[in-house]
Amino acid sequence: MRFKVFFAKYILTVMKRFLLILAVILPMMMRAQNEMPGSAQDNDEITTYALILGINKNVLGIGNKISVQIDFGEEKNFWGNDGRDILVDENGKDIKFNSMVDALNFMGSRGWEFENAYAITMGNQHVYHWLVSKKIKVGENARGDIQQKRDKKKKKNEKNSKVYDPLYD
């Protein structure tokens, strides 16, 4: 008889502890199911980044010719440069920038803000890296009205093909 009473008290103690632990952990588990910290909702804003890459084209260091490309972090072509980073106007002509500041002004007029800059020099060639950011709504295209050479190639290919690719909406 003593064993039954002892066993019943032991089971009751174990059950109390289990319920206490469950009462502490369950609300945390329910909160974790609702929303993770840092997760974005459809009406939330997120920060996107782009890199303005400027390559000094001067052979002897004379003049100020610079080639500017803008990297939005999109997938690169394995087989070579398909114009992914070269900006074009609405007619498909390459946009030429006079300097890195000219490229920054171009991006600034479209809502991008300057974040950081650094330069790498190899021999006589300078490579400038300027990081810019923009706040956009979740699901919105960060590039907006900025077109790249590959977009024009994509549109030409779309006339011959009916393949849908949501990346280029």
pLDDT digits (tens, 9 = 90+) for 148-162: 877 665 555 555 444
Neighbours of 99 (CB within 10 A): 14
Average pLDDT over residues 92-112: 88
pTM of structure: 0.60
- Using left for φ > 0, alpha for ψ between -120 and 50, and beta otherwise, residue 2 falls in alpha
Alpha carbon separation from 74 to 92, 98, 150, 168 (Å, rounded):
20, 25, 12, 11
Q: How far apart are the first and last CA of the chain?
A: 78
Two tokens at 20?
A: 């206490």
